Amino acid sequence: MNREHLEAFREQFGSEPDRFIRAPGRVNLIGEHVDYAGLPVFPMALQYAVHVAVRPRDDGLVCVASSYPGYPPREFQLGPEIEPFSDGDWGNYVKAAAVAAVSRYGADRGADLWIRSEVPVAAGLSSSSALVVAVLKSLLDVSEIDADPIELAAVAADAEQYVGTRGGGMDQAISVCASQGCAARIEFEPVRVTPVPVPDDWRFVVADTGVQAHKSGNAKETYNRRRVAVEESVERVGEELGLAAGDRSYARLLSEHDAGELMAVAQQVLDDRLLRRFRHVVTEADRTRRAEAAMRESDAVAFGTLMNASHESLRDDFEVSGPELDRLVALARGAGALGARLTGAGMGGCIVALCTPDRVDSVLEALRDGYFVDSPGGEPPPDLDQRLFVAIPSAGASVSRL
Ligand code: NG1
């Protein structure tokens, strides 16, 4: 709990909250743009979270306000039909959670919610999913509904589609199910979460380009187009391999063929654009599996090398990097990071770099001086702590009663 948060709640609603809900953002270490292909990913939850101060209401209204500029107060009635606000309105993330709370769990009690987010918005650190998970947990908690975490993760992932992005389920699963000190392998269909302890001497540095990729706005089309390309490719390759329509999944293809065989078939049936999207997914699946093994063996050099290859694939084959992301990646590598890559959907947002403890300061300094400070010896931006930091693998969402 945070005093300013409490006071902001009092000022907005004229009463006291009786519980706080916390849902963390995440940094994806590897396994990018493959969750919606049904393939495993490997993120960890951050020390930064969305916090909600909550007080139940008995009139069925959900009233929500936030500290974030540009996120004005919103209110609506809980019920079987909840019409969205206009396209791009932040309140739609709240409504997404409310629709799921009512339709999937029968929640019937409204609430006053005051939201404070430490997760940079539209930076590829999953601020949107942390918000959906935090509100969903809040609305279930006031209705005294105790949800199974794995089921909640899947419900939150479906819920977020209400805003129009056809995302995968990685962000919600890690925000709900993360374990302190661990990354996690997340598998899909059905969701499964396997914690993997992060070695004590590994440091993941996160740096935010400041280029925002709003998935309820400018980045939605690009993201959805990538997903369509990924789905179209697997359909065509699966068909060529004689699989029945319902069986043409990446998981099925990869269980029966190695990457070389799949690429040989793909070359016959896909145009250049789809071939590159397909190659990203197939090679990223392999990198993700090997990266998990490298973490289990504390092989930081191998992990870093796989991160580098992931970035190259996202830049060249998947085309979701950009000059700012490439620049941060180059600065981190140049200062001694073992690997660096864009993290999250891309098109802006953050990079993540792996370093040994003795290199952390030089990597932070290189990023700060080479990107965040305009001129040598100049001042960094006031929010530098949230834009450049060492990620601490943190626990999943939680509720605390006052
Ligand atoms: P971010 O980084 O939060 O925009 C998005 C998707 C993930 C995943 C990644 C790319 C949502 C809520 N999140 O994450 O499911 O596909 O892109 O790996 O759509």
Domain-wise residue ranges, the chain: 3-198+395-401
Kindly state if the Cβ of 160 falls inside 6 Å of ligand 1: yes
Tell me which of 112, 171, 208, 317 is the catalytic residue.
171
Kindly state if the Cβ of 284 falls inside 6 Å of ligand 1: no
Span 123-135, mean pLDDT?
A: 94
Q: Do 29 and 291 contact (CB within 8 A), yes or no?
A: yes
For 240-292, write each residue's pLDDT tens digit: 999 999 999 999 999 999 999 999 999 999 999 999 999 999 999 999 999 99
Ligand 1 nearest atom to the CA of residue 34, by list position: 18
Under the banding of pLDDT at 50, 70 and 90, the label for residue 3 is confident
Q: Based on the number of CB atoms within 10 Å of its own CB, is 338 exposed (0-12), middle (13-18) or buried (19 or more)? A: buried
> Is 112 a catalytic site residue?
no
Ligand 1 nearest atom to the CA of residue 166, by list position: 19
Span 141-150, mean pLDDT?
A: 97
Q: Do 125 and 49 contact (CB within 8 A), yes or no?
A: no
Kindly state if the Cβ of 46 falls inside 6 Å of ligand 1: no
195 upstream amide cis, omega within 30 of 0 = no
What is the reported pTM?
0.95
Kindly state if the Cβ of 310 falls inside 6 Å of ligand 1: no
**Torsion sign over Cα 221, 189, 396, 66:** positive
User: What letter represents residue 172's amino acid?
Assistant: Q
Kindly state if the Cβ of 168 falls inside 6 Å of ligand 1: yes
For 218-248, write each residue's pLDDT tens digit: 677 898 999 999 999 999 999 999 999 999 9
> Which of 170, 280, 311 best tests ligand 1's pocket when mutated (most atoms within 8 Å of CB)?
170
Q: What angle do CA 208, 211, 215 make, to 5 degrees?
A: 105
Residue 120, pLDDT score: 86
For 22-67, write each residue's pLDDT tens digit: 999 999 999 999 999 999 999 999 999 999 999 999 999 999 999 8
Residue nearest to atom 3 of ligand 1 (CA): 126
Residue 123 has pLDDT above 90, yes or no: no
Under the banding of pLDDT at 50, 70 and 90, the label for residue 166 is confident
For domain 3-198+395-401, say whether CATH 3.30.230.10 is its number: yes
